[in-house]
Chain A
Amino acid sequence: MSEDPSTETAEETRGAYSWIGKNVTKPDALEKALGATEYVGDMVVPGMLHGKILWADTPHAVIKRIDTEEAARVPGVHAVLTAADVPGSNRFGLAVLDQCALAEERVRSVGDAVALVAAEDEEAAEEAVAKIRVHKEHLRPILTYADALDPDAPKIHDGGNVFQHTTVRKGDLDKGIRESAAIVENAYHTHRMDHVPMEPEAGLAYVDPSGVLNILVGTQYPYRDRRQIAPALGLPMNKVRVIQAPIGGGFGRKDDITAEIHVGLLALKTRRPVRLVYTREESLVANTKRHPMAMNFRTGAGADGRLTFLDGDIYGDTGAGVSLGAYVIKKAGIHATGPYDVPNIRVDTYTLYTNNLTSGAMRGFGVMQAAVAHESQMDQLAHKLGMSPLEFRLKNCLKPGLASSTGQLMNEGCGIEATLRRIKDYMSARDLRFKRPEAAS
C-alpha cells in the first residue's frame, strides 16, 4: 500500500484537457514584470487631495473633546473631520458592527482612527494631523486573556469581553481517557502576526458627475465593501461603486474595510478626488492581525497507536473589534483534532475582546494556530508509543468513510493520506530518517 492513491486518477484525466493543467501565462504577468501596473499609490488624478488619519495614541480612553480649529487653519487643508462629521452610521464590522470609522466617545485600541484630514499635499495633511488636539480620560486597558475572562473587568463593548464561546462535543471523553495507553498534555501559545502585504492599505475616491461615490481600493471583496460603506456614510448602496484596484497582496486583511470609508468620506466632504495611502508604520498598527491564541490540549492514544481522545481549550485575542475573529476561533476549535480520526472530543473556544490590536482573517484562519498544537501533540504521542511520526499519522489520518471532528463523513476528495505517502516516498527515496524515537528508526 505504498502507492499514492492520487496518481492514477490524475493521470487518467491528464491529456484529455486542452487548457486545464497547463501553465497558461497569467494575463497580468507582462505588465507586472514591466512595472507598468498602476497601484492606488501610483495613481494621480487632476485636483486630487491627500488624506491622512489621526490614530489613537492610547489603547483605552474616553474622548472628551477634539479640537480641530488649529489643524483646519493649516494652508492647503480642505477638511478636518471627526465622528461628528460622518453622515451615516459610522459603523462597520464583518461579524457585528462593533467598529467605528472614526472613534466616537471611546477609543478601544491604538488601531482606532480618531480624525481625518484632506489637504493639497501630504506635508500639509501631516502638519494638520499633528495639530489636532484630543482631550481624553484614560481607562484601564484589558490586555490579557485573564483580564478579558474576568467578569469584573471593565467592558470594552456592552455585551462583555467574552464575545463567543463555542463547544465541540463528540463521543465519550471518559471512555477515550480510559482506553489511552499514552496521554500528552501541553499549553501552547501563539503570537500576533501582521500580514505585511507588499502594498499597504490604499484607496482613491471621487464623486462622479452622476453623484456616485467611486472608490478604487486594494480589496478582497468589493460587494461586501459596498454593503459596509453605504450605511456608514449614509448613502444608498447603488450610489457607491467599489472597484478593485491592482492589489499588492491581501492575505486576509483586505477582507475587512481598510481605506474605503475614510477616503470615501473625504471625497464626499471635499467634492474632490482624494487618495489615502498608509505608510508601512500605519499598516502595522491599523486594521487586522493574526489572532494570538492560548491553547491547552490533552490528547491520548491507545497501545495500538490509535488516537482515543482530545480534550482542549482555545482562547483567542480578537482585540478591540471582532472582525472575523468569531469565525476564526470557531474554525480553530473545529480543526483542533487535525486531519485525524478522533472518536472522543471536548473542545471549548473563547473569542475575547481586548484593547490590543484587532485581529481578523489571515491566511490560515485559526487553523494555523490549531495546527501548532495538534501537530506537536501528534509527535509527542508517537514518541511515547515508540512509533515513527509519519506512521503514526498514516495510522490515524482521515480516509473516505471516516468522520471528522464534526462528524462529517469523508468522501473521495480526502487527500491527507496521499500527502503523507508522498512525503514518505520522498524520504525513502533519499534515505531520510527521523532521529526520534530511536526505536522506530
Chain B
Amino acid sequence: MAIRRGLGIGSMYYGIGYGFSRADIGSAEIEMAEDGTTTVYSGACDMGQGVMTVVTQVAAEELGIEPEQIRVVAADTGSTPDAGPTSGSRATFVQGVAVQNAAAELREQILDMASRMLECPKENLVVRHGQVCEIESGREMVSVGKVAHQLHFHGRRAAAWGWHDNTTADVDPETSQGDAYATYGWATQLAEVEVDTETGRVRLTKLVSATDAGKAINPVAVEGQIEGGATMGLGYGLYEQHILEGGIPRTNSLAFYLVPTAMDVPDIECEIVEVPDPRGPFGAKGVAEPATIPTTPAILNAIYDAIGIRITETPITPERVFFAIQEARDRGEFEED
C-alpha cells in the first residue's frame, strides 16, 4: 500500500432563491384559537431539512409564545397559501420572512386588544412566553389565550396573513449584468484525503465545512444540512455516476449506482459561520446548497496536494486516478516514493 495524504479547500458562492424574474414569494396565515394555541398555515414543503421547525421558531419568536403552542399545517393547495417551492436554498430566507410578517401582525392584534382590556397604552406592553407583560415592570398582565378569546368574542379572527416577495429582475440578456439574486450563500470546506497510488483509490478522511448561515435559527438543523450536504458532495466527487450507453442507463440499480454508505463518510466538522443578512428572518439565509457544493472541489484539490496530479473529470474513480498516475509515470512526471 502506497498511501499519500493531502489537504485541499473548495469555496463557493450561491445565489439564494430564484433570480431571472421568476416569482420568488412566500406566504403564510397564522391563527390563534381561544386557548392561545396557534396554527401556521405555511405553503412551504418540509423535505426533512426542517423548514417546519424554522417556521415554528420564527413564529414563536415574533409572536412571543412557546413553540409547543404552535402547530404547522404545510403545503396543501386545499388549506395553505402558495409559498413557492422548497428549492434554491430559499425556504428559510423567503418563507421565514413571510411567517415573521404574519406573526408580527397577529401580535399587534393581540396587543391592541390587550391594551383595551387592560386600559393600558399599547406602547407599554409586550408579549413574552405567551403572556402580555408590562414592559417596565416585566409583570405578566394577561395570557395571550385570554386576549385571543376576547378577540373571538368580539367577532374578530385573531388571524393574520403574511407575504414576502423576493423576486429579482432578470440579468441583462447580452451581458448578464444586474443584481441577479437577493442574496448569496457562502461556504468553504477543507478536505483531507488518502490516495492509494497503487490502486488509485481515494478516501476522504476528514472534512471541515465552514458554512455561512447568516443566523442559525436551529443550529442542530444547520449541522444536519451541513453533514447531509457534504455527504452528497462526497457522493458526487467519488462514487455516484449514472452511466448511459447509447442513451440507455447501465447503472439503474443501487448495485451499480454507488451512493456513499456510513463506511465512506468521515468525521465532518461543522463550522457554522454567522454573517447576519438583514433581508433574511433574524439575519438567516439558506445553507442546503452552499453546504454541498465545495466538497468535490476540495477533494480534487486535496488529491493534487497528495500526488501532484490534477484530475479534471468527475467522478474521481479509482480507474481515473490509476490511469492518471500511469500517464504521469510515462511522462516521467510522477513523484515516486
Chain A residues within 8 Å of B, Cβ to Cβ: 4-6, 9-10, 13, 17-28, 58-60, 109-110, 141, 143, 166-170, 186-194, 196, 214, 219-224, 226, 240-244, 247-252, 254-255, 280-281, 284-285, 289-290, 327, 330-331, 333-335, 338-339, 347, 354-357, 361, 363-365, 367-368, 371-372, 374-376, 378-380, 389-390, 393, 397-398, 404-408, 412-416, 418-420, 422-423, 426-427, 432-436
Contacts and interface: CB of A to CB of B under 8 A. Distances in A.
Contact of A248 (B43, B48, B187, B304): B48
A54 B253 CA distance: 18
Contacts of A60: 247
B314 A189 contact: yes
B188 A6 contact: no
Given A21-B219, A24-B56, A339 B186 contact: yes
B19 interface: yes
Shortest 6 CB-CB contacts between residues of A and residues of B: A59-B247, A375-B297, A415-B212, A221-B85, A413-B277, A339-B13
Interface in B1-40: 6-15, 18-20, 22
Interface in B120-145: 128-129
Contacts of A220: 45, 47, 85-87
Interface string B177-191: 111110110111110
Interface string B62-81: 00100100011011111000
Interface residues of B, number: 124
A9 B275 contact: yes
B77 A222 contact: yes
A371 B251 CA distance: 25
B37 to A, nearest CB: 13
Given A189-B313, A364-B293, A368-B292, A284 B249 contact: yes
Given A169-B175, A244-B45, A20 B61 contact: yes
B206 to A, nearest CB: 9
Contacts of B78: 214, 241, 243
Contacts of A354: 247
A26 B13 contact: no
Interface of B: 6-15, 18-20, 22, 43, 45-48, 50, 52-53, 56-58, 60-61, 64, 67, 71-72, 74-78, 82, 84-88, 128-129, 171, 174-181, 183-184, 186-190, 208, 210-212, 214-221, 229, 232-233, 235-236, 240-244, 246-249, 251-254, 257, 259, 269, 271, 273-280, 282-283, 285, 288-289, 292-294, 296-298, 300-301, 304-306, 308, 310, 312-315
Given A28-B46, A59-B247, A243-B76, A413 B285 contact: yes
Given A19-B60, A143-B246, A365-B289, A221 B86 contact: yes
Contacts, number: 380
17 contacts: A59-B246, A168-B175, A191-B313, A194-B242, A243-B77, A250-B86, A334-B15, A335-B14, A355-B247, A363-B289, A365-B88, A372-B296, A408-B180, A416-B11, A419-B211, A426-B210, A436-B305
Given A242-B77, A372-B314, A24 B10 contact: no
Contacts of A166: 176
Nearest to A437: B305
A19 B67 contact: yes
Contacts of A254: 47
Nearest to A10: B274
A20 B58 contact: yes
B129 A331 contact: no
Contacts of B229: 363
Nearest to A337: B13
Contact of B57 (A19, A190, A432): A19
A135 B329 CA distance: 53
A371 B232 contact: no
